Structure 1
Amino acid sequence: MTHRLILGLAGAAAALVAVTPAAAQQWRWNEGNWRTVGTARVDGRDTDTIALPGFTRQREVRVCALNAPLRLRAFDIRFANGGRQDVNTRAVLNAGTCTRAVNLRGNRRDIASVRLRYEPVAYRANRPVVRVQVR
């Protein structure tokens, strides 16, 4: 009996390991030259700010929704030098989708934070996770 239990658990673990890489590849932090620089779980309020750590230079930015859909009205990009860029999107981001690539004004800019203006599509137990990607 114990031998069968061990073999059963080993088989289940092997199946789990075989399935995990395919799911993990879907949400890589660096996909198609896009780097994920910040993530946040939004809680249903009207606005949230995602602070981006470090000093890096970017040309483009996009915002992606995970876990649940999100109605993204706009996002404001705050630069390290005090400048800002407002982006109106008015897009419904389904879980696993991103906004269009937004070119940053100026040459290559250092983003300090991104302020999101949004509303949830549906109130449910899963709150959307938002990630900011740059390249």
Structure 2
Amino acid sequence: MTRALILAAAGAAATLVAIAPANAQNWRWDERGWRTLGYTTVDGRDRDTIYLPGRTRQSAVRLCAMNQPLRLRDFDIRFENGGRQDVNTRAILRPGTCTRAVDLRGNRRDIASVRLRYEPIRRAAWRPVVRVQVRG
């Protein structure tokens, strides 16, 4: 009985250790104060919306591409109070790169969602993943 309990506890601990780093990596603050709040795999429809969870007071936002390059035309930031801020980027995001930091108008704001207008550069099996990162 004790041996089975020890083996079960060890298995559960190993599972938690394997899962925790992947989850913590997406939601932690990095060395420059950026934190990932949400992400989506863009599906090639030219427009997508990333909904952000909870209420977080932020002063700057940026978008980052993963997996595949992406031509980002612009993005529209929707705030919890109904306001919005349109950002014209016309940038090519290579995998692992981000847009410039965009300061949010007004004081620190609650972001509800980010609408993207884009073009995939390559039509491939792997779709680009876009992350929304914020700084407080």
TM value normalised by structure 2: 0.78
The code of the aligned residue for 1:60 comes to: A
Distance in 2 separating the partners of 1:106 and 1:33: 20
Aligned equivalent of 1:92: 92
Over aligned residue pairs, what C-alpha RMSD do you find?
Answer: 1.4
- CA–CA separation in structure 2 for the residues paired with 1:28 and 1:77: 21
Q: Deviations over 1:92-133 (max 9, x none)?
A: 000000000000000100000000000001101110000000
The structural deviation recorded for 1:62 is 0.1
Name 1:127's counterpart in structure 2.
127
- In 1, Cα distance between equivalents of 2:26 and 2:81: 30
Gaps of 5+ in 2: 1-20
Quick one: distance in 2 between partners of 1:94 and 1:45?
19
How does the TM-score come out when normalised to structure 1? 0.79
What percentage of residue pairs aligned between the two structures are identical? 74
Partner of 1:54: 54
Shift in Å, 1:28: 5.5
Quote the residue 2:81 is aligned against: 81
Stretches of structure 1 that go unaligned for 5 or more consecutive residues are 1-20
Rounded Cα–Cα distance in structure 1 between residues aligned with 2:44 and 2:26: 26
How far the C-alpha of 1:33 sits from its partner, in A, is 0.7
Q: Spell out structure 1 runs of 4+ moving beyond 3 A.
A: none
